[in-house]
Structure 1
C-alpha cells in the first residue's frame, strides 16, 4: 500500500492555499487583484515532456516520467504564489484538508515594503478562495488546517444598471421569499439622494431575509474585470439575519443554525435569480466572486 503524498518540501515554512485539483485559480485571483497573471505558466508532465528536445537517452528509447513544472501566479507586481503542487486525496486527508485530489499554492513568504498588497490582504483572499472553491488553508506551522464552510456564504448581491421601484420589486421576490413586506425606511438625511428601499421576509424559526436596493458609491473589485454593460451601480443586497447573529461568527455553528441556513439559502438565491431576470446585471457573493446564472439556479433548487 502506497503512503499518502505529503506536502512538498518546497512549501515548508509557508502558508499554503489548497483547492480542488481542477480549480482554475486565475479568475479567483482577478476577483481581488484585477492585474493578476501567470508570470510563469504551470505545465503538466505531458506538456513538459513535449517541450523538451527529443535527444539523449530519452530519444534512444530510455524514457523517464516527466515531472510537472510549477507555475508562478503574480497577484500584483512581485507578489506571487507558486503552484500548483499536486496532493492526492489521502495526503489531503492526512493533513486535515478535505479528502480530495488537491492543488497546493504557496503563499508569498514576505511582501516587499511599500506595496499595496499586504500579507493580511493575501491571507483574506486565500480564506475567501478556500470557502468559494471548497478547499482549505494550511498554516506555516502545519498545526491545524483551516477549512471554511462553503455553505456559510449565503448572502448575495445583484449589481444592475436598472433600478426597480418598491412596488415592482415586491411581486418579483415574494415567490422565493414568502411573506415579504416593505420595511420602514430609515430617517431621511437632508440633501441626500434617495436611500432606496428594503423588503423583509420573517420566518418563525429561521430569522429574517432582507432585500435592500440602493445606488452604491463603490462596487466590488471583480466588476472591474467584467464588461461594464453587464453590471451597474444599483445594488440589490439579499441578506440573511439568523435568529442568533452570534452563530455567524462561530467556526462551527450549531445544528439548529445550519438547518435554518439550509432552509433559507434557496430562497435567497431564488430572490436574486428573479431580480436578475427582471433587471439584469451580475451577481457577486460575500467573498467578492461572481456567481453565474447556472450556479444561482442550482442554489435555488437545493431545498
Structure 2
C-alpha cells in the first residue's frame, strides 16, 4: 500500500488510528478506560502563538509558521495514544482509508512495560472507535488498512432505573416493529418484571427486545451521573437469518439490505422505551448514543 512517509514517519512502529478531522478522542477513550486523560494537550496551529518574524537582514519579511504539537492521551497511566497528526483526504485514500480529512493517532503495537491493559484490549478499543466514527486503522506492519463498517453495529441497549412488564412494553414496541409478528418468547424476573419479545420478519430475520436486571454494566456508565442510568437493560438486537454474516467484513447484499430495513426499527423501539423509562443508550461498541442520533436513525427509511 502507498504510505506518505511525511505523514506517518512520526508514527513508525505504531498502530495508527484514523478518525474524521476534529473528532474528540478523549470521551471515546474514557468509554472504555475511565481514567484516560491528556497528559499533554494537543496544540493545533491555530492555538499556537502567532508566527514571529525571523531576525536579521537576510530573513527580513520571513515568518516562522506555528507548528502543531501532538498530544499524549494516557489510557491507564502507562499506555499512551499520541496525536493528532493531520491527514488530508487524498492521502487517506492512498492509504485505502475513508477518503476524508482525518486525524491520526498512534498506539502501541507491542506490550508496554507496567501497563495494566493488554494490547488486544487497546486494539479492540481502536477498532470500536474506527467503527463508531467512520474511520480506520493502519496496522504497524503497514500491509493493509482495516476499515470497519460503521453500519454493522445495529444493536442498542437502554440502561434505565425503571423496569417495565411485558404487558406494558408490548403495546409500546409493536408500532415500531410494524409488519412483524411480535410475541413473547420467554418471561423472567420476580413478579413478572423482565421480559423478552421477538419480532420476526420473513426476509429480514428477527429483532429481539428484552429487559433484564444486570449486575454488570458497560464501563462508559461509570463516567456518568448515577441518576442518568440504572440496572435494567433494555436490549434491542438483530438476529439475521445467517448469524455468521454478522462477523463478515463483506456480508452478502441480501444481509446488507435486511440490515438497512431493520436498523430504523431498532432505533424506534429504543426511542419509544427511552421516552417511557428514561435512562442512557449504549451501542454495541460500548459508547453512549445521544437522543439526537437515535432520532436521526429512526427517521431513516428502512
TM-score in same-fold range (> 0.5): yes
1:115-264 aligned within 5 A: 115-178=115-178, 179=180, 181-185=182-186, 196-264=194-262
Instruction: Assess if the C-alpha contact under 8 Å between 2:78 and 2:114 holds in 1.
Output: no
Residue 45 of structure 1 corresponds to: 45
Residue 36 of structure 1 corresponds to: 36
Instruction: Assess if the C-alpha contact under 8 Å between 1:160 and 1:235 holds in 2.
Output: yes
Distance across 1 between alignment mates of 2:45 and 2:79: 26
- Return closer, same or farther for 1:78/1:194 CA change in 2, 3 Å cut-off: farther
Q: Deviations over 1:186-228 (max 9, x none)?
A: 6x79xx9978210111001000000010000110000000111
Secondary structure at 1:261 match in 2: helix
- Return closer, same or farther for 1:90/1:56 CA change in 2, 3 Å cut-off: closer
Q: Identify unmatched segments of 5+ residues in structure 2.
A: none
1:265-284 aligned within 5 A: 265-284=263-282
Normalised by the length of structure 1, the TM-score is 0.92
1:5 Cα deviation (Å)? 8.0
Normalised by the length of structure 2, the TM-score is 0.92
- Return closer, same or farther for 1:254/1:47 CA change in 2, 3 Å cut-off: same
Distance across 2 between alignment mates of 1:206 and 1:252: 18
Q: Deviations over 1:2-38 (max 9, x none)?
A: x978532011121100000111101100000001111
1:182 Cα deviation (Å)? 3.3
RMSD: 2.2
Q: Identify unmatched segments of 5+ residues in structure 1.
A: none
Distance across 1 between alignment mates of 2:54 and 2:202: 74
1:276 Cα deviation (Å)? 0.2
Instruction: Assess if the C-alpha contact under 8 Å between 1:5 and 1:90 holds in 2.
Output: no
- Return closer, same or farther for 1:4/1:78 CA change in 2, 3 Å cut-off: closer
Q: Deviations over 1:66-104 (max 9, x none)?
A: 111110011111210100000000000001100000000
Count of residue pairs brought into register by the alignment: 296
